[in-house]
Amino acid sequence: MVKEPLPEQECAGCGAMFVPKTRRQRFHTVKCRTTTKAAAKAKADAEPTPEAKVIQWATAHGAPIRLLIGWDSASGEWADNSPIGDVLADIARGSHISITGKRHGFHDMNSLMLRGAEYANTSEDRAHIPIEVLPLVDLFHLVNYHESGAEIDLSNTVYDEAMKNGKLGLDFLGRRWPARWREQQAVLSMDEDDMREQAVSALIEDPATAMQLAAMASKIEDDVEANERSNA
């Protein structure tokens, strides 16, 4: 009885057709797998790494390469001993972003922040933000985080001291709610001459109001003279 030949099968690597379980098929499979792996490795080697993409983008757009030192592309954070890590540490202690940026070699921090802000709201998922701009987005979020943290820490410290010191408490209230506290404090501390001088200064700064008050004063004088003539 003659056995029917097995149907040909397609090679998963290159698509060639071979009769399975034959010497030719086994030889081709080994060779094809080796060739396929080599091709995949060559393609992977040719593809730039995420870090390389960021460096290429930074170079093309004038962003400092030092920005990438210590940056973790997975977590979006910088190492503590990196240049940006030092910048963030200073900001967390209340330093101004431009001043601390210049201290650590970043002379245009505001520009970097603006670039990060452009992409910060595109997605809450970092995976959807282009790798090329991801460091700027991470920097934008971290600077805002440390700035707000510094303000809260300092505000809480001042608040605790203000609860023990009445003068400091008034100053704190005047800065926190100036419309209700700073002006009231200023009025209570002024005598009549000071109040008149402040009123005159305000009129000088607002000519339209000064003209209206002058017209009202003139009308009052005319009314007084008219009443005096009628009573004479």
pLDDT tens digits along 130-177: 888 888 999 999 999 999 999 999 889 988 988 888 888 888 888 888
Handedness of CA 138, 144, 149, 150 (dihedral sign): positive
202 in the same domain as 151: no
Mind listing the pLDDT tens digit for each residue in 54-73? 667 666 766 677 888 888 88
Whether residue 230 is predicted with pLDDT greater than 90 in this model: the reply is no
Number of domains in the chain: 3
| Average pLDDT of the segment spanning 31-54 | 62
Whether residue 1 is predicted with pLDDT greater than 60 in this model: the reply is no
Lowest mean pLDDT among 17-26, 33-42, 187-196: 187-196
75 in the same domain as 122: yes
Task: Find all residues with CB under 8 Å of 10, minimum gap 6, and list them.
Answer: 16, 17
86 in the same domain as 35: no
Which domain does 104 fall in, by range? 64-162
pTM of the model: 0.54
CA nearest neighbour of 87 among 99, 72, 71: 99
155 in the same domain as 70: yes
Q: In this predicted structure, what is the pLDDT of residue 143?
A: 95
Whether residue 31 is predicted with pLDDT greater than 70 in this model: the reply is no
What tokens appear for 176 in the block? 């926190």
The three state secondary structure string of the chain is CCCCCCCCEECCCCCCEECCCCHHHHHHHHHHHHHHHHHHHHHHHHCCCHHHHHHHHHHHHCCCHHHHCCEECCCCEECCCCHHHHHHHHHHCCCCHHHHHHHCCCCCHHHHHHHHHHHHCCCCCHHHCCCCCHHHHHHHHHHHHHHHHHHHHHHHHHHHHHCCCHHHHHHHHHHHCCCCCHHHHHHHCCCHHHHHHHHHHHHHHCHHHHHHHHHHHHHHHHHHHHHHHHHC
Q: Which residue has better confidence, 16 or 154?
A: 154
Under a CB-based contact definition with an 8 Å cutoff, are residues 11 and 18 in contact? yes
| Average pLDDT of the segment spanning 194-223 | 62
Whether residue 116 is predicted with pLDDT greater than 60 in this model: the reply is yes
- Segment of 27-36, 87-96, 130-139 carrying the highest mean pLDDT: 87-96
Q: Which residue has better confidence, 80 or 193?
A: 80
| Percent over 70 (pLDDT), the chain | 55
d(C-alpha 35, C-alpha 217), whole Å: 100
Whether residue 38 is predicted with pLDDT greater than 80 in this model: the reply is no
Residue 177 placed within a domain:
no
What tokens appear for 20 in the block? 């399975």
69 in the same domain as 155: yes
What tokens appear for 134 in the block? 């991801």
Residue 53 placed within a domain:
no
146 in the same domain as 71: yes
72 in the same domain as 42: no
Handedness of CA 150, 152, 158, 161 (dihedral sign): negative
109 in the same domain as 19: no
- Segment of 43-47, 97-101, 125-129 carrying the highest mean pLDDT: 97-101
